[in-house]
Amino acid sequence: MLKRDFNIHVDDQDLLDEAFTQASYVNEHRDQNLKFYERLEFLGDAVLQLIVSEYIFTRYPKLPQGRLTRLRAAMVNEQSFSTFARECHFNKYIRLGKGEEKAGARDRDSLLCDIFESFVGALYLDQGKKVVEGFVQQVIFPKLDEGMFAEFFDHKTELQELAQEDGPVDIDYELVDEYGPENDRLFKVNVAIDHKVLGIGVGHSKKDAEQKAAQQALKHFDKREDNLV
Amino acid sequence: MLKRDFNIHVDDQDLLDEAFTQASYVNEHRDQNLKFYERLEFLGDAVLQLIVSEYIFTRYPKLPQGRLTRLRAAMVNEQSFSTFARECHFNKYIRLGKGEEKAGARDRDSLLCDIFESFVGALYLDQGKKVVEGFVQQVIFPKLDEGMFAEFFDHKTELQELAQEDGPVDIDYELVDEYGPENDRLFKVNVAIDHKVLGIGVGHSKKDAEQKAAQQALKHFDKREDNLV
């Protein structure tokens, strides 16, 4: 599965098993001297924090610390990690005790988040940081472009910060069109910086359209680099 | 200074300057197009989290997750980082605005902690993780052996957890001696596991002596490795 989906090879199968084993399973198989995932989760959490930090630090070279911190918090949390774990089909591989299985732990966000971290911890120990970066580049980073964290990413504030970095400028949002039926109304907004239109956005609310216009305008300020440091 | 004290060389002097520059200084020197340390602090924080996590994960291979987390929190915080920053004489190199200087920011724990992190962020970008590990091995890790985090490190609990890992055992603490003047009394405590004395501790309270006895006994269970993974 790892090989097929992510082109990842793991040498130490025991370590990988540990990453997917909950304490309840260990307790039911005391004769097998198994380990459960928690220590690997501790390590994986720190690995993910650093790799995500490094990526957004490099990708958004002008984003101030406070916003980097908020973006990282939006990316590194139970909700997003459990989503990633499901997308990777990690839920299939978790080893649970019978009671936990019955209680529905296999689909619990908190467990899936833990397992995502413990898997990363195991991968890091087994294959090193570069391989984890390759995995994260497939699983987490594309979500940034797909808008998964858009709600945490306030483009209007970002635009204001970037545009005014070299001194004050005029930023104006203008509603230029409104169309569609009452119950499915669409709004079109332009954003202009010093009277030059740099972005257009369409959305189901003016606020949403403004965010999208700002997002488009941001491309004029973007010094993205596509590679991890 | 870095060269002499830590055998560290930094290629990008601008990056190093950035790590030691507070926003107040940047504001007073707008013509110089300077950057302040905050983004580097964001990165350095994550670097330190991972390196410390990895070290204690490896050094204490049987420490459960909860205690790893507590130990990391004891090592990675404002109090300890500001101490390290002072020991490294980083306070001398901070560039502050006049107002902040007057207000005594140079000796403020919160600033020193930030600067410790931003320095690590700069070092990481400039020289990579191995060099940061070398620095941390000189500055932070020896503190573990010197007992800097002892108050957070409950040896009695740790001993109990390790000793009982393969089944229940008897752990007994016995006061074997008491001496010295009333106002400077010393207590001597033995700890025995299944009636075999494994540690002796002396302290100004029974509790302290028990902790020290437990710490000594822990050596029998220690599978430390001295190298970072």
Determine the pLDDT at residue A151.
64
DSSP state of A12: -
Least confident of A13-17, A158-162, B36-40, B110-114: A158-162
For B109-160, the three-class secondary structure string (H helix, E strand, C coil) is: HHHHHHHHHHHHHHHHHHHCHHHHHHHHHHHCHHHHHHCCCHHHCCHHHHHH
Joined tokens for residue A142? 């594309």
Residues of B whose CB is below 8 A from A54: 43, 46
State how far the Cα of B229 lies from the Cα of B226, in Å rounded to an integer.
9
Q: Report the percentage of chain B scoring pLDDT > 70.
A: 95
Q: How many CA atoms lie within 13 A of A101 on its CB side?
A: 10
State how far the Cα of A94 lies from the Cα of A48, in Å rounded to an integer.
20
Whether B150 contacts B210, CB under 8 Å: no
Determine the pLDDT at residue A180.
92
* B117 annotated ligand-binding residue: yes
DSSP state of A61: T
State how far the Cα of B185 lies from the Cα of A135, in Å rounded to an integer.
59
Concerning whether A45 is annotated as a catalytic residue, the answer is: yes
- Neighbour-count burial for B136-153, b at 16+ CB within 10 Å, e otherwise: bbebbbebbeeebbbeeb
Mean pLDDT of all residues in chain B?
90
Check if A53 contacts B (Cβ < 8 Å): yes
Concerning whether A210 is annotated as a catalytic residue, the answer is: no
Collapse the DSSP code of A11 into the 3-class scheme (helix H, G, I; strand E, B; otherwise coil) and give the result: coil
Joined tokens for residue B180? 């010295």
What totals of helices (H) and strands (E) does chain A contain, helices first? 12, 3
**Token pair 């209007």 is at which residue?**
A156
- Show the domains of chain B with their CATH numbers: 2-152 (1.10.1520.10), 155-218 (3.30.160.20)
A162-200 per-position pLDDT tens digit = 888 777 899 999 999 999 998 889 999 999 999 999 999
Collapse the DSSP code of A36 into the 3-class scheme (helix H, G, I; strand E, B; otherwise coil) and give the result: coil
Contacts of A171 (CB under 8 A, 6+ apart): A159, A160, A163, A191, A192, A193
State how far the Cα of B144 lies from the Cα of B225, in Å rounded to an integer.
14
Least confident of B106-110, B148-152, B209-213: B148-152
Determine the pLDDT at residue A113.
97
Q: How confident is the model at residue A160 (pLDDT cuts 50, 70, 90)?
A: confident
Q: Do B64 and A39 touch (CB under 8 A)?
A: yes
Mean pLDDT of all residues in chain A?
90
| Residue of higher predicted confidence among B115 and B158 | B115
User: Can you tell me the mean pLDDT for A206-229?
Assistant: 72
Assembly ipTM: 0.74
Which of B43, B47, B57 lies at the smallest CB-CB distance from A42? B57
Determine the pLDDT at residue B151.
64
* Nearest alpha-carbon partner for B111 in B20, B17, B16: B20
Check if A148 contacts B (Cβ < 8 Å): no
DSSP state of A89: T
A81-140 per-position pLDDT tens digit = 999 999 999 999 999 999 999 999 999 999 999 999 999 999 999 999 999 999 999 999
Judged against a pLDDT cut of 80, whether residue B221 lies above it is answered with no
Nearest 10 degrees: Cα torsion A147, A153, A159, A164: -150
Check if A229 contacts B (Cβ < 8 Å): yes
Q: How confident is the model at residue A225 (pLDDT cuts 50, 70, 90)?
A: very low
Contacts of B91 (CB under 8 A, 6+ apart): B85, B106, B107, B112, B115
**Token pair 């990675």 is at which residue?**
B76
Q: How many CA atoms lie within 13 A of A152 on its CB side?
A: 17
Q: Report the percentage of chain A scoring pLDDT > 90.
A: 70
State how far the Cα of B157 lies from the Cα of B147, in Å rounded to an integer.
16
Collapse the DSSP code of A27 into the 3-class scheme (helix H, G, I; strand E, B; otherwise coil) and give the result: helix
- Cβ-based neighbour number of residue B133 at 10 Å: 18
Q: How confident is the model at residue B223 (pLDDT cuts 50, 70, 90)?
A: very low
State how far the Cα of B48 lies from the Cα of B32, in Å rounded to an integer.
30
Q: Do A49 and B46 touch (CB under 8 A)?
A: yes
